[in-house]
């Protein structure tokens, strides 16, 4: 079973959570037991970009099982606090670094 970990930041764009989560939910329905999902954050609750409060978030685990996927969702705004626990570098069970997948809702903004 593959664990999907969504790292949520303040001002998260809900579409960046709901879209991938729904895809994994459907895939798990087609092949039961393939995926589990976990939602983590730098705090136990945070506000989304549309004002909906998301709660019962878990902290970033120190270690993840081999094969886990971390999805760092997009936010509304121009700044991400990279010192926040949800953006830290989790480690594999053997202590090596883990890959992350960044999901962004928008395109690039020209200045």
Which one is predicted more confidently, 47 or 77? 47
Residues 109 and 81: beta-carbon distance below 8 Å: no
Among the listed ranges 34-48, 60-74, 92-106, which one has the minimum average pLDDT value? 92-106
Whole-model pTM: value is 0.74
């Amino acid at each position: 079973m593959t664990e999907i970990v969504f790292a949520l930041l303040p001002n998260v764009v809900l579409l960046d959570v709901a879209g991938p989560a729904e895809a994994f939910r459907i895939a798990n329905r087609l092949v039961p037991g393939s995926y589990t999902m976990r939602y983590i954050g730098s705090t136990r609750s945070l506000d989304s970009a549309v004002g909906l409060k998301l709660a019962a978030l878990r902290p970033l685990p120190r270690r993840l099982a081999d094969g886990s996927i971390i999805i760092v969702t997009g936010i509304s705004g121009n700044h991400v606090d990279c010192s926040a626990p949800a953006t830290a570098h989790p480690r594999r069970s053997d202590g090596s670094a883990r890959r992350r997948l960044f999901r962004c809702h928008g395109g690039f903004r020209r200045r």
